[in-house]
Amino acid sequence: MTHHSVTKWLGGVAFESDNPSGETIFISAGEENGGDGTGLRPKSLMLSALAGCSGLDVASLLPKMKVTVAAFHIEVTGELTEEHPKYYNHVQMVYHFYGKELEKDKLKKIVYLSVDKYCGVMEMFRKFAKVDIAIEYHP
């Protein structure tokens, strides 16, 4: 399978990028790099892609494993190298699950099925970064 995306320069340090789904995002540099503070930052989009990939896995596995949660979110923090080109060399992912009587063993299994088997973005990150995983349960 091949994915295709077109990213169009809008002038200055602003771009518009499409996605195979047909959706469009606005990408721009931060003010410290000549941007106006609007738009999404490319490196941060990588963190969102990582959380989104794993989140989709978790959401699809919850009903298959008959696990109910009231809500969940994934918090991702990436540390950039000091030298150029700056890239994430260490990433921390924290999965937060909310609900009454959370099935911790099953939730842990679901997270690690995503982390170790299904999430392709996770596999890409492992090529250049150390990725730490944590799970927090909230009643």
Inter-residue contact 92 to 77 (CB < 8 Å):
yes
> Is 90 exceeded by the pLDDT of residue 60?
yes
Which CATH number is correct for 42-138, 3.10.290.10, 3.40.50.720, 3.90.1150.10, 3.30.300.20?
Answer: 3.30.300.20
The mean pLDDT value for 31-37 works out to 89
Q: Tell me the pTM.
A: 0.94
- What percent of the chain has a predicted confidence (pLDDT) above 70? 100
Domain spans of the chain?
1-40, 42-138
Question: What is the rounded average pLDDT for all residues in the chain?
Answer: 96
Q: Left, alpha or beta for 137 (phi > 0: left; psi -120 to 50: alpha)?
A: beta
User: What pLDDT is attached to residue 17?
Assistant: 97
Give the separation between CA 77 and CA 100, rounded to whole angstroms. 27
User: Where residue 37 falls among pLDDT bands split at 50, 70, 90?
Assistant: confident
Tokens found for residue 86: 């700056």
